[in-house]
Amino acid sequence: MWTVLLLVASNLFMTAAWYGHLKFKTSPLWIAILASWGIAFFEYCLQVPANRIGYGQFSATQLKVIQEVISLTVFAGFAWLYLGERMRWNTLVSFGLIALAVWFAFAFPENGA
């Protein structure tokens, strides 16, 4: 559970770092880069422990798949709430395909199937 909670918090910072500056396109690019780096520091402070805690309980591949699903979920909320973008049918289909990828990553353990 700690792994998932840390990954969610990490992705909140990551999404803010990567996309938060899009509302401030008149600001100089160097300011956006420095601000993003500053925010991303906190993302790393959560991401690294999440992977350390989760590895062993999950494979590295499973950790990455979990992180990607969380990342896309957080991003979808961010794009809707912060950037004002609406969810479209093709976005929902793509999320469904990603959910299928999650199923494949977890359905067949690496030690056998």
pLDDT digits (tens, 9 = 90+) for 26-78: 999 999 999 999 999 999 999 999 999 999 999 898 898 889 889 988 999 99
Assess if residue 10 is contained within a domain: yes
Write down the pTM of the prediction. Answer: 0.81
- For residue 27, the enclosing domain spans 2-107
Domain total of the chain: 1
Predicted pLDDT of residue 104: 85
- Cβ-contact 53, 7 below 8 angstroms: no
d(CA 41, CA 45): 6
Q: How confident is the model at residue 112 (pLDDT cuts 50, 70, 90)?
A: very low
Amino acid at 46: L
Assess if residue 113 is contained within a domain: no
* Dihedral sign (CA 75, 73, 61, 57): positive
